[in-house]
């Protein structure tokens, strides 16, 4: 008879492997299954952030990817309904798998509403724990981000040969347009402002002074909150919205969002739209995938990275100010700076590897950055970029500029 005060062991404490990772090269890694049951094929990357696992897993830029967390203790603070970044959580636009080192402990945070394992099940995310994530990360750094299958079966029954074939057959992220899948299906209005300690998210109460149209390639909520917090009415439109429909909304500014997949694939329908929008004098600001698509529209190229940049501790230099900031990043493709044409300047650069992290069109109110200035999770060093963009909007309306760093 069990003592009622003795907690029931969680289902993943068994020694029998209940989850596996099968790489495209045939490597098999065994672990303990968490979250949803089943299998999914995707690219494995690693994220070096120490906090914000829920925001990471719900970032639509991770669609088509399995995230390896380098921080060993994931799940300690549980999960809640506030720390979600995809616009339509019911559609589950985010990472499809997760890899942890340590078992998930019981939640120990006042904001927790549920155990992370239960939350993973609800999101349909397949997860695995109990492996050396440092070794896997080192493997990725040496060999590049691999295609793989992650599978979870509580009974530990796996058809390894079938999983190997599935991993090997998957073509990967190159030439894959995931933005249409991550994008919202219809236009909507956003009014929620940034989170305030012990108050939560406030709705915009004042009549907004500016209208920003956000093209949704897989937008994060915190981006929209920051625009709303700076006095903007935000209209979110699907990724494949035409230039005529966007201009019909009479925007004061146009935002190009982050998102998943190969920018060249998304660019097949988005580039022509951006070329038309750039013929106007409406300010344009892009982040991540939006930055890459803008570069394509300007005549540049994008390339697949060896391992990508994923974390909240990346140093980036802003050439326009000479300052270095620590930023949040999540991208597996990058703009080839050498391909940028005359009239387009490189504004930001990674101090890790020298890759391009920003551009601006000379003499026009158009700029973009590769990193995630909205953070969530991550440092807020780059929040000034939203004020920089709103200053372009204000200048177009003949208004006085805001201080970039409040």
pLDDT at residue number 3: 44
Assess whether 183 and 165 both reside in one domain: no
**Among residues 19, 16, 49, which one has the least CA distance to residue 34?**
19
Assess whether 77 and 135 both reside in one domain: yes
Write out residues in the chain with pLDDT < 50, as ranges: 1-14
**Count of domains forming the chain:** 2
Assess whether 215 and 326 both reside in one domain: yes
pLDDT at residue number 14: 46
pLDDT at residue number 200: 83
Q: How far apart are the C-alpha atoms of 147 and 311, rounded to whole Å?
A: 20
pLDDT at residue number 175: 98
pLDDT at residue number 2: 41
Asked if the structure places residue 259 within a domain, the reply is: yes
Asked if the structure places residue 3 within a domain, the reply is: no
Assess whether 148 and 191 both reside in one domain: no
Assess whether 322 and 189 both reside in one domain: yes
Asked if the structure places residue 374 within a domain, the reply is: yes
Domain that holds residue 51: 11-169
Catalytic sites, residue numbers: 288, 372, 374
pLDDT at residue number 197: 84
pLDDT at residue number 10: 45
Q: Give me 222's structure tokens.
A: 């915190």
Alpha helices in 249-308 (DSSP H): 263-277, 289-297
Q: What interhelical angle do 384-396 and 221-229 show, nearest 10?
A: 50
pLDDT at residue number 12: 39
Assess whether 389 and 248 both reside in one domain: yes
What is the chain's alpha carbon radius of gyration, rounded to the nearest angstrom? 21
Exposure on the CB side of residue 69, measured as CA atoms within 13 A: 27
Asked if the structure places residue 406 within a domain, the reply is: no
291 touches 333 (CB < 8 A) = no
């Amino acid at each position: 008879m069990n003592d009622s005060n003795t907690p029931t062991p969680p289902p993943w404490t068994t020694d029998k492997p209940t989850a596996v990772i099968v790489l495209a090269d045939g490597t098999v890694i065994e672990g303990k299954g968490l979250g949803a049951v089943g299998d999914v094929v995707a690219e494995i990357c690693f994220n070096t952030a120490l906090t914000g696992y829920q925001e990471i897993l719900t970032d639509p830029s991770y669609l088509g990817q399995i995230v390896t967390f380098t921080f060993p203790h994931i799940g300690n603070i549980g999960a809640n309904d506030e720390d979600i970044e995809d616009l339509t959580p019911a559609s589950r636009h985010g990472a499809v798998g997760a890899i942890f080192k340590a078992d998930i402990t019981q939640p120990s945070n006042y904001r927790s509403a549920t155990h992370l394992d239960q939350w993973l099940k609800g999101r349909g995310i397949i997860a695995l724990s109990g492996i050396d994530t440092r070794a896997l990360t080192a493997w990725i750094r040496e060999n590049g981000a691999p295609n793989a299958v992650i599978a979870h079966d509580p009974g530990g029954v796996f058809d390894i040969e079938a999983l190997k074939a599935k991993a090997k057959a998957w073509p990967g992220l190159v030439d894959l347009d995931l933005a249409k899948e991550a994008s919202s299906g219809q236009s909507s209005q956003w009014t929620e402002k940034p989170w305030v300690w012990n108050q939560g998210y406030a709705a915009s109460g004042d009549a907004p002074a500016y209208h920003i149209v956000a093209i949704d390639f897989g937008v994060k909520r915190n981006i929209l909150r920051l625009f709303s917090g700076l006095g903007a009415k935000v209209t979110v439109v699907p990724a494949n919205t035409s230039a005529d429909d966007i201009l019909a909304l009479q925007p004061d500014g146009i935002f190009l969002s982050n998102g998943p997949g190969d920018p060249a694939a998304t660019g097949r329908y988005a580039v022509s739209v951006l070329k038309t929008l750039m013929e106007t004098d409406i300010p344009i600001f892009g982040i991540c995938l939006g930055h890459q698509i803008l570069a394509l529209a300007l005549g540049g190229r994008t390339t697949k990275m060896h391992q990508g940049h994923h974390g909240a501790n990346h140093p980036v230099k802003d050439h326009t100010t000479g300052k270095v900031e620590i930023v949040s990043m999540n991208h597996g493709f990058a703009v080839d700076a050498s391909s940028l044409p005359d009239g387009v300047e490189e504004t930001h650069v990674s101090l890790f590897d020298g890759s391009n992290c920003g551009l601006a069109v000379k003499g026009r109110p158009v700029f973009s950055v590769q990193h995630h200035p909205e953070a969530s999770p991550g440092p807020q060093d780059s929040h000034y970029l939203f004020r920089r963009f709103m200053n372009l909007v204000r200048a177009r309306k003949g208004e006085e500029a805001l201080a970039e760093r409040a």
